Chains A and B, each alone.
Chain A
Amino acid sequence: MSDDETQSAAGSSPQGSWRLFVPADVPFIYQLVAAVDPRWWRFSRHGLEPSRLLEIAEGLAAGVVVVDENGRPVACAVLADAGSAGTGTLEFYALPDPHAQAIAARLAPELVAAAFAGAPIRRLYHERFENDPDLLGEISTLFEVEVTFPDFALVDGGYESRTTSVTTPERLAAWQAAGAQ
């Protein structure tokens, strides 16, 4: 990818920005998965054997890395399971520290908008454990819970439920229009 392409695909914020995922980001993905284990379930469900994680990462449709004001990667968002049904799943995780999570939450609206702009998606899903930090920030209200898996998996000694919620381009557009007024 050229620098121009990176620039055109990137958004920015006073305290952090994001850019498209590149192969050199793989070590950061591993670091992130390990730091939040087992919350990034797509990767953690089979354990953290590196070659398997790499294989999963290669199968993802698209991804971005969120960096802080010093250019240090702090979060990652990927679009997974994007298929012919016009649906996809947003997976979004940040390093487990308040600064990283705050930057991620601040950029969440841009990332969701980018997912809809970059792929023909009519319904965007988001899965989370009940005690996951809220990284969707002010757009979390646009996501409606459709499925709850009770006591889905053990996390730090206790079972946590997992939900699947969804939003649409129409909901995001209405929210953006309301914010612009």
Chain B
Amino acid sequence: MITTARIVLRPVLPSDYRRLYMIESDPATAMTWRYRGDLPRIEEYEPALWKQTQQIMVVEGRTSGLVVGYLQLHDLDLRAGNGWFSLYSGPEHRGSGLVMEGLMAYCEWAFGNWPIRWLYAHSFAHNVKNFEHGMRRGEAVRLGVLRERMLVDGEPTDVHVIGIERENWLASPLRRRFNVLRARRC
């Protein structure tokens, strides 16, 4: 668990599933990489949620106590030393920065608790702006773009592949600032 002034990053509990399902049911993000518009019924959600998944961390707002989003560690490859992550934000909290703060906490958690050198993520072209700041600052890198990889509403859509390298994260000024603020405000 990682606590900052605004959020708590903690492992998911079964009592969170309904909230996670609500987040994923939002029409604006229903066409996610994982379900591709075919979100299972709530009764079948738990096994689908955990498919190929090693751990799920929810981002809880400290003021509201509400789960504002979640991050998933999946397709962990311990022989290569890498894993993939997915990030989901509740529709009413997009743009608040809470889930992106959760991503910083998640990097701290993932690289501090799993023997991985790289974290990768797929991002649709229409979501990649969430990573642009990190790529400009250098904490994240664009490893490439899979052109017209997916069909979203029947239209071919590019998928960006984003990478966060352990050593890069550990040495980043953003991480230092995050931990200074975290220590000061908790």
Contact = CB atoms under 8 A, between A and B. Distances in A.
Interface of A: 38, 41, 44-47, 84-87, 122-123, 125, 145-154, 164, 166
B163 to A, nearest CB: 7
Given A146-B147, A147-B145, A152 B80 contact: yes
A87 B149 contact: yes
A79 B79 CA distance: 23
Contacts of B80: 41, 45, 152-154
Interface in B135-170: 143-151, 156, 161, 163
Nearest to A168: B148
B143 A45 contact: no
Contacts of A44: 79
A86 B146 contact: no
Size range of the chain B interface in the assembly: 20 to 34
A9 B151 CA distance: 30
Nearest to B141: A150
A166 B146 contact: yes
A166 B161 CA distance: 15
B36 interface: yes
A123 B163 contact: no
A146 B144 contact: yes
Contacts, number: 54
Contact of B149 (A123, A145, A148): A123
A147 B161 contact: yes
Contacts of B151: 84-86
Given A152-B82, A153-B80, A164 B144 contact: yes
7 contacts: A45-B79, A84-B151, A85-B149, A85-B150, A125-B146, A146-B147, A166-B146
A6 to B, nearest CB: 34
A125 B120 CA distance: 18
A122 B156 CA distance: 10
Interface of B: 36, 77, 79-82, 117-118, 120, 143-151, 156, 161, 163
A41 B81 CA distance: 13
Contacts of B146: 125, 146-147, 164, 166
A84 B36 contact: yes
A122 to B, nearest CB: 8
A1 B98 CA distance: 57
Nearest to A152: B80
A146 B144 CA distance: 5
A164 B144 CA distance: 9
A46 B75 CA distance: 11
Given A45-B80, A47-B79, A153-B79, A123 B143 contact: no
